[in-house]
Structure 1
Amino acid sequence: MLARQRQEVILTTVERDGGVRVADLVTELRVSDMTIRRDIEALAEKGLVHKVHGGATLADRSIDEPGFSVKSEMNPIQKSEIARTAASLIPPGTAVAVSAGTTAYAVAVELRAIKRLTVVTNSPRVAELLYDPTRDDQLVVLTGGVRTPSDALAGPVANAMLATTHVDTLILGVHGIDLEAGLTTPNLQEAQTNRALIKSAKKVLVVADHSKWGVIGLSTIATLDQVDTLVTDAELDEEARRELSGHDINLIVAPRSDDD
């Protein structure tokens, strides 16, 4: 198969599914890992896809919203590093809200070890993960709402419930972060519900890997000045770190797994 034909297959798959893994393409196209990476590089140079660790996603366009399963395969090591660091900031006996999204879900995995938590979430996956009928020290509250492609419950029902909810900390995953646009998402309903989550919390803890920097979705959720803490991974470049230093944000870079 010619390079042009392989690249057409890759682009078609990314446009259909929102993203693709190198390992899956190697199996499907029966070529080497290096060949697929060169094809992805060629497509990225044309602005047709966005390279991520282990694969490619749609190029950064304001309305693109890959599904949960696709995003969960992207940067999994970095998300785990972020999750462990973020969870370490949550003390026992507090109330937290956890948004939808794969990085927030990774944090929820780590929250299982924390005692006496009340967790409010608009993510059915997070609620299912944390619910344990044998534990009497934890309360899990799931909002209502309409399910979005990222597996969030959003809309008027969720917003009304959150309007009378008060938590100590919100753990918020985002589609993109930009110096001017702030925290963004491609989904308008989800943007409104995320704003309601922010209003419900005393502190906002954003969890986002380096690939989210510079990405701008259709709708702004919040400005950077509304963020108390941002936990990211060690691959966030120095320029981005300098830009963030101009805002009153507690920037925490999670240590690499091999540094633990």
Structure 2
Amino acid sequence: MAVKMRRAIVEERVLQLGEVKYADLARELEVSEMTIRRDIERLEERGVARRVTGGAIAVTRKVDEPSFQTRLTDAMTGKSHIADAVVEMLLPGETVILDSGSTVLAVARALRGRDLGLTVITPSILAAVELSEEPGTTVIVTGGELRTGELSLVGPDAAETFAKYNADTYVAGVAGVDPERGLSDYHRGESAVKKAAMSGSDRVIVAVDSSKLGRSTLVNIAPASSADVIICDAADDDPIVLDLRRQGIDVICIENSDAVPDQGTDVRQAPEASTVG
């Protein structure tokens, strides 16, 4: 196939689908992934596409947020490993904000049976239900308007909840983590709640699967450096991971293993009691 024709097909796929994988295009067009990478680089130079881990997303086409059920089933094994790593970073007695979203829901599930005695504040109805009968765990649900499909609470009432409490850790889920454009999300209401939760916490742990790395979605939340720790299932030498680390961000790569982060770098002591006012 002529180069010009192949690149036209690659561009068409990007614009039609909104997001493509190098491996899928290489298989379809019977060329190497490196060839597809070079084609995508040309599209990026023209402002048509933006490279992300393992593929590219369209810049000139609005990419809609995948449904919650789709996100819940995508990369579920990786999300469970990420969740276990997040839980290992939490200290007994902490006040923890658990975000909405499928990855943080996996964190809520991973907390069950850990006997950490946490106070959990969350805008996620699903996360609250997961921990509602967990012994020793206090669950506080924010106010706000219920977002259909996500079963998360958004709006001013949800955001204002975080001004009432002093949280030790915010476990955040976002749609995009880009070294230059920072943390982002699809939904304006969700993003406002995330900003408020971030400002009300001493430590921010961002939990994302590798598909979110290098991605920039509709609403900017904060610079990438606002995260104290990013836990993901990308390769340790992923270019986006290396870029984030050059900014001084602690990025822990789980790579779908049973490994958990070393807590030796966390010098804070476990609180004697909840810091909830």
TM-score, scaled relative to structure 1: 0.74
Deviation at 1:247?
Answer: 1.5
Deviation at 1:113?
Answer: 2.7
Structure with greater Cα Rg: 2
Q: Percent identity?
A: 31
Give the equivalent residue in structure 1 for 2:118: 117
The whole-number CA distance in structure 1 between the counterparts of 2:146 and 2:63 is 17
TM-score, scaled relative to structure 2: 0.70
Tell me, what secondary structure is at the counterpart of 2:103? helix
Given that 2:231 and 2:253 are in contact with CA atoms closer than 8 Å, whether structure 1 keeps it comes out as: yes
Give the equivalent residue in structure 1 for 2:182: 182
The whole-number CA distance in structure 2 between the counterparts of 1:183 and 1:224 is 6
What amino acid sits opposite 1:172 in the alignment? A
Given that 1:52 and 1:75 are in contact with CA atoms closer than 8 Å, whether structure 2 keeps it comes out as: no
Q: Is 2:132 aligned against 1:131? A: yes
The whole-number CA distance in structure 1 between the counterparts of 2:96 and 2:194 is 14
Tell me, what secondary structure is at the counterpart of 1:70? helix
Tell me, what secondary structure is at the counterpart of 1:87? helix
Aligned residue runs from structure 1 range 154-193, under 5 A: 154-193=154-193
* Number of equivalenced pairs: 223
Tell me, what secondary structure is at the counterpart of 1:129? helix
Deviation at 1:256?
Answer: 2.8
The whole-number CA distance in structure 2 between the counterparts of 1:247 and 1:147 is 36
CA distance change for structure 1 residues 126 and 242 in 2, over 3 Å: closer, same or farther?
Answer: same
Tell me, what secondary structure is at the counterpart of 1:220? strand
CA distance change for structure 1 residues 166 and 254 in 2, over 3 Å: closer, same or farther?
Answer: same
Given that 2:52 and 2:214 are in contact with CA atoms closer than 8 Å, whether structure 1 keeps it comes out as: no
CA distance change for structure 1 residues 251 and 52 in 2, over 3 Å: closer, same or farther?
Answer: closer
Aligned residue runs from structure 1 range 1-260, under 5 A: 38=28, 64-115=64-115, 116-132=117-133, 135=135, 137-148=136-147, 149-235=149-235, 238-257=238-257
Given that 1:229 and 1:252 are in contact with CA atoms closer than 8 Å, whether structure 2 keeps it comes out as: yes
- Provide structure 1 residue ranges, at least 5 long, that are not aligned to the other structure: 1-10, 20-33
The whole-number CA distance in structure 2 between the counterparts of 1:165 and 1:155 is 18
Tell me, what secondary structure is at the counterpart of 1:109? helix
Given that 1:204 and 1:228 are in contact with CA atoms closer than 8 Å, whether structure 2 keeps it comes out as: yes
- Provide structure 2 residue ranges, at least 5 long, that are not aligned to the other structure: 1-12, 261-277
Given that 2:81 and 2:256 are in contact with CA atoms closer than 8 Å, whether structure 1 keeps it comes out as: yes
Q: Spell out, residue by residue over 1:176-210, the C-alpha distance to the aligned partner (whole angstroms, 9 max, x if none).
A: 11112111011111111100110111000000111
Q: Which runs of 4+ in 1 moved over 4 A?
A: 45-48, 50-53, 58-63
Tell me, what secondary structure is at the counterpart of 2:96? strand
Greater relative contact order (Cα 8 A, min sep 6): structure 1 or 2?
Answer: 2
Q: Spell out, residue by residue over 1:222-245, the C-alpha distance to the aligned partner (whole angstroms, 9 max, x if none).
A: 111211000011446521122011
The whole-number CA distance in structure 1 between the counterparts of 2:193 and 2:63 is 17
What amino acid sits opposite 2:191 in the alignment? A
When the two chains are superposed, the root-mean-square deviation of aligned CA atoms in Å is 3.3
Deviation at 1:152?
Answer: 2.2
The whole-number CA distance in structure 2 between the counterparts of 1:203 and 1:214 is 23
